[in-house]
Amino acid sequence: MTTHSDTLPNHTDSHRVLAPGAGFPRQPRLLVVEDQPLHIQVLNRALSPECRVFMVTQGKQAVQFCVDRQPDLVLLDVEMPDMDGFQVLEALKAEEVTRNIPVIFVTAHTSTDMETRCLKAGAVDFISKPINPSVVKARVYTHLKLKFQSDLMHQWVYLDGMTGAFNRRYFDDQLQTEWRRAQRTAKPLSVILIDVDFFKAYNDHHGHLLGDEALRTLVKADKPVLQRPGDFLARYGGEEFVCLLPDTPLADAATLAERIRQAVLEQRVLHEHNPGVGVMSISLGVAENFQPGIANAAQLLGEADKHLYVAKHSGKNRVCSQ
């Protein structure tokens, strides 16, 4: 059975800011994999409320939780009834979405050989039982700081320098990852392709500096609409952007696309060469992995591009998903 120290987080929890002095940009999410109630209680008391602590009692549950939720760090018992800790860690290292989650082994074995085995298996640290809450907290915090620093460095690599949105490289990587996850879980995956209407005319009239500012305004308008941590906006190229929406069926993605269209209009960016509108507008094409003829991630993106083409050639400033 899966348990946790409080209710499961909603889609905005990952943006929750900790109290001053905690040292993390958001509340860390920890997974404790332990089948002894006493040890679960000790770890929970040591790490809450600064961290969001989840608990599972079996190895298979731990692997599935990490695939679905990607915690920031795992505290993993070595001895468990279904899969031991080494088998769990091996399974996590085999999955692209989980291989970089730091794992700390927690075990009653205190020998140097066991510690060496844990580290060679890929764990970032080793904590001996009986559990000392102060030691656990200090080591967990150290590895969380390293994890968040690593995340920040990766984010810089994946950001578009001009708009602040994620870049094409990040989108391409995440599209493949989410496609494989959707195939494995049989869940919907949707994409939204976005193109600024008459953007060449905007640049020709206002200049590229104001054109760049208009694209930054688009990104700023869209971000509040994408509330879930898994949803994101990326710059696809030029004045084109793309949203990746895991676990989102076509109808919901189309509704979200309409909200994005409205959010951009509400910015009231003057565009005198946008006939009948007068402000910056966008056209959007939406597709879902379960639509007929879509067998891979490239075809999903191609389907969204087809719908974008229809939106652009049937009047612009609209969403097309069929």
Just list the catalytic residues: 239
At which residue do the structure tokens 């109290």 appear?
A: 19
**β-strands 240-246, 189-196: how paired?**
antiparallel
Q: How far is CA 63 from the centre of its chain?
A: 18
Q: Is the CB of residue 247 less than 8 Å from the CB of residue 191?
A: no
At which residue do the structure tokens 């976005």 appear?
A: 194
Can you point out the beta strands (E) in 8-150? 29-33, 52-56, 73-77, 103-107, 125-128
The set of residues, in sequence order, having a beta carbon less than 8 Å from that of 275 and lying 6+ positions away, is 198
Beta bridge partners of 192: 243, 286
Residue 54 tokens, joined = 């989840």
Closest C-alpha to 35, from 75, 64, 73 = 75
CB atoms within 10 A of CB 74: 27
Q: Is the CB of residue 171 less than 8 Å from the CB of residue 242?
A: yes
CA distances from 164 to 25, 200, 234 (A): 18, 21, 9
To the nearest 10°, report the CA torsion of 153, 159, 161, 163.
-140
Q: Which helix H or strand E contains 210, and what residues bound it?
A: helix 208-222
Closest C-alpha to 229, from 215, 216, 248 = 248
Query: What's the rounded Cα separation, in Å, for the pair 213 and 215?
Result: 5
> 3-state class of 101 per DSSP?
coil
